[in-house]
């Protein structure tokens, strides 16, 4: 088991390539590094291929992650709105069910309980920008 993470292995290999490109007299001995890290050269280069830490790749990955975050936040906002709408729907439904039960039980006309239910119903409707409703006219 290597003491280095996949990202560290990739970074070291990329540093070695950069030194080589710049014509440095200092070289990283990849074989020795792999031996000390406890991994094969093949495995080290596999990590390098899967993890690209170049600034351009990092910026691209960051942009991709930010776009994903934006999409997830939009989905979350839509889900929260649907949940609020569902809660409002059920509250209105329950009020109307209670009104209907009260009418069946006590007959038509005004009662204090019906007034309370009507007031709750109208409060919700007004908060939604709807006109209040008078059930007794």
Query: What are the domain boundaries of the chain?
Result: 1-53, 76-131
pLDDT band at residue 34 using 50, 70 and 90 as cut-offs: confident
Q: What is the mean pLDDT of residues 109-125?
A: 92
Q: pTM of this prediction?
A: 0.50
CATH of domain 1-53: 1.10.10
Q: What is the residue-averaged pLDDT of the chain?
A: 83
- The length of the chain in residues reads 137
User: pLDDT tens for residues 59-85?
Assistant: 887 898 899 999 999 999 999 999 999
**CA–CA dist 90, 94 (Å, integer):** 6
């Amino acid at each position: 088991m290597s003491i280095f993470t996949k990202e560290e292995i990739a970074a070291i290999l990329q540093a070695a390539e950069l030194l080589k490109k710049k014509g440095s007299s200092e070289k990283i001995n990849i074989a020795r590094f792999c031996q000390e890290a406890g991994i094969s050269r093949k495995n080290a280069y596999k990590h390098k291929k899967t993890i690209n830490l170049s600034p351009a790749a990092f910026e691209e990955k960051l942009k991709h992650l930010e776009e994903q975050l934006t999409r997830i936040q939009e989905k979350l906002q839509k889900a929260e709105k649907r949940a609020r709408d569902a809660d409002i729907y059920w509250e209105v439904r329950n009020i109307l069910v209670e009104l209907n039960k009260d009418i069946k039980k006590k007959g038509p006309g005004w009662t204090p309980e019906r007034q309370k239910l009507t007031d709750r119903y109208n409060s919700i409707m007004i908060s939604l920008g709807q006109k209040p409703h008078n059930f007794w006219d």
